[in-house]
Structures are given as structure tokens and as C-alpha cells.
A and B are shown apart, each in its own frame.
Chain A
Amino acid sequence: MMRKIAGLTDTARLKINVFPATVLVFVILYALGFSGILPANVMRYLLQIFLYIALGEAWNLMSGFAGMTSLGQQLYVGLAGYAAAILTGIYMQPLPTVLPAAALVCVIAAIPVSAILFRMQGMYFAVATWVAAEAAEKLFLNWKFVGQGSGMTIRLSPYPSVGVIYLLALTVCMLAVLTVYRITRSRLGMGLLAMRDDPVAAASIGLNLTRTRLTVYLLAALISGLAGSVFFLNKGMIYPESGFSISWTVSVVFVCIIGGAGTVAGPVIGAVIYVLLREYLAHYPGWSNIMLGAITLLVIFFFPEGIAGALKKKKRIN
């Protein structure tokens, strides 16, 4: 499915130069993590950035590249968090089992959910994704097995240190970035762009819309699930409002719009800005959402393709 595409235009070729730099950054971040020289609070900031990058890439793959705008990726963040809590708290599974299993739960759940969601398109699809996440929240809120509104605690003994969680978040981030990067350079990537621009025309050139949508949806669920499980591993507990809150999608949309939807670099830039800005604005309670909203509007007005899109355009012009 993901055969490499050669001979694309300048826009695609620019990405080749970025690749070694990206690999170098990941190597440095791993070295910093293994060396233990980073203070715990810095690692906590960084791991938040890594997880928002992963969530941003997942949302971007669906909404930015494939044109399947989702308002419900929190469904898989919450599901993965609960899967991690159940696997550790009830079935006493070790950490190496928990994260892949939590992501697998998301992929399995995504199959029947997609069968319902794919009956809708455009705005209706977006609203339906949100409704699915809301339904999951209500289900978990009333489910005794998962502690209803009180939620569940993630129990691991010994509990992983912030250094370990940093490395896990970095790995999830790297997997997300490389997967989306690879897709943009593949047959599937070209199909996604065609499908985003015109699904009817895309089908008429031989693209199987259902299979393509399903591939993207399952990949996004997998990445969101991996990020969600690490996020709640860091938190230590989960309850329905924290797992399935729409604020996940609001944050991720901010990350992608600021950074640049439809670009691999967009969520990376957006996540760095978002986490730093959120920490800064936390000192001004009540203003943070107003400020984030105002910044989003300004970026949409002046850089409709986000920061990554604007930089790419500038490079093309030069």
C-alpha cells in the first residue's frame, strides 16, 4: 500500500532535506532522555509536546491529508487510557504489554465505529465522530466495572519514572511523525490528497474510497491510542471527563491549524507553541482560552496554511 513515490514536484522534494534533520533531532532527544541530565519538570514539558505532536499527526492524517474532519479523536485517547487502567489495575499486566494492547483495543473498537461513521460525510461525519466520543463518555460514566464517574487508577509496580514515560512519549511521537511522513511519500499519500480534493473523481480514477478511509481511520485510532495510553500513564489515573473530553480535539485542532494542517511539520510546530503557550497562560486564569482563540483567528487570517505552510510557500517563492 505504501510504495514509495518518486518524481514528485518541488513541494514533495523539499521534504527529503528535512528528513536527516528530523532523525538528528530524535537522536538528540533520545540521548538526552537516556543520559538523565534533563530535570524532571523539563521532561514533563517535553513529553507533553511529544504526545500533542502524535495526536496532532493522527488528526492531521485524517483531517488535513484525507479531508475526513474529525471532532472525536478523544474517543481513542479515552479508550486507550481505560484499557491501560484495566490491564494494569485488574489484570496486573506489565508495562511492555499494556501500551501495545491499549492501542490494539483502539484499533479493534475503531472497526465497528467506522462502519457507522462512514455512512456519513463532511460535516455530518465530523459531528458523528464527536457523538461517538460523547456516547463512550456516558457509557464509562455509568459502567460500574470501570469505577463510573470516579474513574480508575493505573497500577504498576514499580511505577515507571518520568524518564521512562519521556522515552515512551518520544517513541510514540517518532512513530507518528515517521508514519505520516512515509505516507505522504507513498501511493496512499497521493490517494489521500486526491480523495480530499474530490472523492467522486478519486473513485472514478480507481481509488477504493472505503478501504482508503478505513486505513486512515485505523491508523489515526492506533496513534491516538498510543498517545492516550502514555498520557494517562503520566497522569496515573483516568475518569470519563478527562478521557473523552472534547477539549482533546480542541487542543489538537489548535495544534494543527497553528502549525499547518496537511503538512507533516505542522503538528510539530503547533504542539511546541501550544504547550509553551498553555503553560504561560496558566498564570492568567480565565484568559487562556480567549488568548488561544485570538491567536488561532490571527493565524487563520494571516497564515491560512499555518506556520509550516507559510514557511513552505516562502521557500518555494525564494
Chain B
Amino acid sequence: MTDRGAEKILSFENVTAGYGRSDVLNGLSFEVERGEVFGIIGPNGSGKTTMLNTLTGLLRPKSGRILLDGEDISRLPVDARCRRGIGRTFQIPRPFIRMTVFENVLVSGIYGAGFSAAEGKGPAEDVLRFTGLYEKRDLKSGELTLLDRKRLEIARAIVSKPRLLLLDEVAAGLTGSEIETVIGMVVQLKRAGFTVVWIEHILETMLKAADRLMCMAEGRCAVIGVPGEVLASGEVEELYLGTETEALKHAAR
């Protein structure tokens, strides 16, 4: 599905997954190229979260394969996938609230990248500077604002230098200016060489940061391409009932 000759890092091959007898993903296939910001949109119930859960290992696919750099990771547990190079953030931040900001990032480096505490200190401080949390490193993470918790999620995910970074609705719940901050951070992540898979409900964010966009519907890939084209497509307009896409087409122009 990649037509630009770029090296693919992630492949979903005809993946079916769901809960109990009901399938949410119905033969989902797509590929992500190394170094790109790959956006995923779709209406509620389209399977975005289920896709993320199968990718991170919280849910095992019933059939199909997930390949990371050619290795089949479909049956690996969550922690093993992290050590293979999948870092993630959560839609509702899940900091280790009784640890400090620094300890949150350090523990991630220790378990994710296999750092010793001494080795992990430098990278932890680097990512705290990158995410703007360095001055707050000794605060308990439970004391942070929502934006700072989202920053912490990113810091914790990138300290292990993952091959693939998954952002799950990182802009959700933020104000307009805070969303701009997050978009800026994603752009910086791309510049730093990270491959980002970004699920987002706020479509405007995708226009500013995503290289390619996939719109999901009924557990499949409905449309995939550059963001402007995808958002202007009739299928996406139909899926979103035309409510948001008019504004987006305008923004895309």
C-alpha cells in the first residue's frame, strides 16, 4: 500500500480482532513507512482503539498478522512489544502517580530500553527537556496538569527510543493553544526521526502534522492517502456526515 518506495516499518495484514464473538476489526490491512507521521481517523466505533489494542498487545488478533520491521509480533505480550520498539501514550494519561516525573521516565528507560539507573539518567533528562518537563522533574506526577501529563506520556514513551511511537488521542481534552503545543511536539518528534502512528478525533490536528492519513470504517481501511485528499474524499464526508469535513476542506485550502 506504500506507493512512494519508502521502507515500511509496520504492516497490518488482513487482521481480524474483537471481543468475544463480535469482530471489531474486519480484515484490516495497512502499512506505515519509516519516519512518517501516520494519522488514523474514523468515527466512533470504527475500530481505532481496537486497532491500537491489537498493535500494543492488549488484544490478540483472531486472524491475520502484524509485522514490525518484518517480524511477526501478533502473538507477543505487551511488554515484549515494548522491548521490540513500540512506545505508546494513553488517551487518558496513566502516570505512575506516586512517582516523580523523573522516576516515571527513568523506570520506562530501565524496563523499555534495558538501561541501568546510571545509564538511564541522561536520556531521561534529555526527554524531559525535549517535552518541557525538566523544571518539574521532582514533582509527583499526580500533581501535573493535563497538558503536562500528556507531555509526560510522550516523554515516558520516547525515552526508550521506540521504532514506532503510538499517540492515542493526545490532543483530547486540551484547549486550542495546548493542542498547538502538542502539534508542535509531534512535528519535532518527526524531525527527530521518530515514526509516529497518531490516532486523533480532532481532525484539524492531522492536517498540520500528518504525512499520510487513514480513515477507518467498520474495522477496515476506508480511505488512505495524503491528509488533504483523504479529508476531501466523499467517503470520509459521508462517514462524518459532512459536519466537520466542510470546515476541514476549507482549512486544507
Contact = CB atoms under 8 A, between A and B. Distances in A.
A187 B117 contact: yes
Contacts of B88: 204
A206 B111 contact: yes
Most buried by A among B94, B96, B98, B156: B96
Interface in B49-95: 56, 58, 77-80, 82-83, 88, 90, 94-95
A208 interface: yes
A191 B79 contact: no
Interface residues of B, number: 33
Interface stretch (A15-23, A163-171, A192-200): A192-200
A309 to B, nearest CB: 11
A36 interface: no
Contacts of A203: 77-79, 82
Contacts of B58: 200
Contact of B94 (A3, A6, A198, A206): A198
Given A9-B138, A200-B94, A201-B90, A206 B160 contact: yes
Interface string B151-168: 000001000100000000
Interface stretch (B28-36, B40-48, B101-109, B237-245): B101-109
A205 interface: yes
Contacts of A9: 100, 102-103, 138
B111 A205 contact: yes
Contacts of B80: 208
A194 B99 contact: yes
A132 interface: no
B111 to A, nearest CB: 4
A4 B117 contact: yes
Contact of B79 (A187, A196, A197, A207): A207
Contacts of B103: 8-9, 190, 193
B118 interface: yes
A134 to B, nearest CB: 32
B82 A7 contact: no
A200 B59 CA distance: 12
Contacts of B190: none
B121 A194 contact: no
Nearest to A196: B98
A209 B79 contact: yes
B82 A204 contact: yes
B57 to A, nearest CB: 8
A7 B160 contact: no
Nearest to A5: B117
Contacts of B99: 190, 193-194, 197
A191 B109 CA distance: 11
Interface in A206-227: 206-209
A268 B211 CA distance: 58
The 4 closest A-B pairs by CB, nearest first: A206-B111, A206-B112, A206-B82, A201-B94
12 contacts: A3-B116, A7-B118, A190-B107, A191-B107, A191-B111, A196-B98, A197-B99, A198-B97, A204-B88, A205-B108, A205-B112, A206-B112
